[in-house]
Amino acid sequence: MSTNTTESSQPALDWLKWLVVVAVLAAGIFGNWYYRDQSLLARVLALVALAAVAVAIAAFTDRGRSIWVLLKESRVEIRRVVWPTWPETRQTTFLVVMLVLAVALILWGLDSALSWAVSTVIG
């Protein structure tokens, strides 16, 4: 029974953590506006630091943990992908460029023919 209260209280605290995340980000935005006369480098570094703090706080929520797990699984899936070799990439690129040129020529021809037909009818 104590595990159920712990599980139910955890999401109840998540809204507070998300509120802190929003407050940190809002403070960064306000600080960037308030200190607009200061060095751009200092403001960017401060925003990056505040964003890191916000991400760290968000990582301790249920949704943050699930996003972290998703990112880990995505990285594993990317490693499983069989990437094309250089000759395959070159051949595919060549084929795409040739098809684009062929479609462009067809569209140019249709446009020219329709333009000639309309100008003939209109006079």
- Whole-angstrom distance, CA of residue 10 vs CA of residue 5: 8
Ordered by start, the domain boundaries in the chain are 1-81, 84-123
Closest CA relative to residue 51, chosen from 71, 19, 27, 70: 27
What's the pLDDT at 120?
A: 92
pLDDT along the chain (123 residues), means of 10: 49 84 94 92 94 92 90 92 94 98 98 95 87
Residue 64 is encoded by which pair of tokens? 């943050």
What's the pLDDT at 118?
A: 95
Q: What is the DSSP letter of 82?
A: -
Percent of the chain with pLDDT over 70: 90
CB 31 within 8 A of CB 83: no
What's the pLDDT at 14?
A: 84
What's the pLDDT at 48?
A: 95
What's the pLDDT at 11?
A: 67
What's the pLDDT at 12?
A: 66
Q: What is the 3-state secondary structure (H, E, C) of 64-92?
A: HHHHHHHHHHHHHHHHHCCCCCHHHHHHH
Count of CB atoms situated within 10 Å of the CB of 24: 19
What's the pLDDT at 10?
A: 63
